Amino acid sequence: MTDVLVVSLGTTPGLRVADNMLIAMLREAGASAEALSVGIGITDKARRGYPLNDFVEAVAARRALASALRTRAQPRAVVFSTTTTALLASRPGIPYAVWLDSPAALNRPGALNAPVRALERRSLARARLVIPMGDVGAAALPAGSAPHQVVPVPINPSGDPGGPRDPDLAVAYTPGSKAKGLDLLCAAWARVARGSRRIEVFGIERAAALAFLARRGVAEPPGVTFRGFAPAADFRAALRTARCFVSAARWEDYGQAPLEALRDGTLLVTAPAGGPYEALAIAGELDRDLVARDLEPASLAAAIEAAFQRDHASRVEYRRRAAARLEPYEWQACVSALRTRVLPILLDESPARS
């Protein structure tokens, strides 16, 4: 019998990576775990925006789980990865938890999304445990939710964070042009671009980037290279050599890339994005001048300039403090949280597990 069946939506690369990590961590924590992939199928054509997307995905998750429970040995517990997969799931007859980056209570505002928020309140209240990825998401859980335990997506160094740095290089990641603020990023960079300063922008191809900027009336600034959808290893390598990582996001559901930047010893320059942006408070603790006051180009430019002005000693100290602050996000810390604070509740066991 499988201990934990993870209902995996997997509609984005980030979700697939996170779900694979969760399954690996559950296994290392001593539980047997398997993934149940949710196939959207022909109903994918019905996805035209929110909240319709949520209902299409929730129906697919309900169908996949019902089929799995009919045709395979019943697991001891279910973990729904994302709140969406749990919205319409009938009570499976076994304990379940919900692993999420952001509750709908936070990222689905407005009257149109009221049904989604109501269904979320019901599913989170019925759960045995809610597992937010970060403290910001935990704070936004709706009243009446089941008890929660925070378990982040692990963030490990990709190499030596103390290696040589290019003093003129910045890095950014803008896979969603509007939400990730590509126009804000380029407008701010235009104010600080001079000499040999360069910024490498990952997550979008050049043609798409220029088309978006044209629609927003923002010119392509000097010193920008659009790296497109490069392998993750290339992105992390760029982080290890850059002076700073710049996040111009207007909204962050969690913010994996900024956390990776901090883990790789890179100065984090960031706009004050809305959402359960896990790295925002950390960035403020480490260096308040690297956090823009608002979502205006002048403010973000000032924060970028501050990063370029930091001397070697201050960057070394920043890296030391960032490493200490990110200890709860290390792989073994996350595994320990699952072993001691999640599985005993979810599987109704004593805290001691081998």
Could you read off the pLDDT of 103-131 as tens digits, one per residue?
Answer: 998 889 899 999 999 999 999 999 999 99
Greatest alpha-carbon pair distance for the chain in Å reads 65
CA–CA distance, 97 with 231 (Å, rounded to integer)? 32
pLDDT confidence of residue 253 = 84
Which CATH entry fits the domain spanning 169-327: 3.40.50.2000, 2.40.110.10, 3.40.190.10, 3.40.50.150? 3.40.50.2000
What are the residues whose beta carbons fall under 8 Å from the beta carbon of 48, sequence distance 6 or more? Answer: none
332 — phi, psi (to 5°)?
-65, -35
Q: What is the pLDDT of residues 158-189, one digit of tens each?
A: 999 999 999 999 999 999 899 999 999 999 99
What are the residue ranges spanned by the domains of the chain? Answer: 4-154+330-346, 169-327
Task: Please state, rounded to an integer, the average pLDDT across all residues of the chain.
Answer: 92
Give me the mean pLDDT over the 68-85 stretch: 91
pLDDT confidence of residue 350 = 46
**Quick check: 48 pLDDT over 60?**
no
Residue 110 class from Cβ within 10 Å (0-12 exposed, 13-18 middle, 19+ buried)?
Answer: exposed
* Placement of tokens 């990576």 in the chain: 17
Q: How far is CA 229 from the centre of its chain?
A: 17
Give me the mean pLDDT over the 123-141 stretch: 94
The domains spanning 4-154+330-346 and 169-327 adopt the same CATH topology: yes
- DSSP characters over 50-62: TTHHHHHHHHHHH
Amino acid at 143: A
Q: Are 5 and 81 a contacting pair, CB within 8 Å?
A: no
The verdict on domain 4-154+330-346 having CATH code 3.40.1190.20 is: no
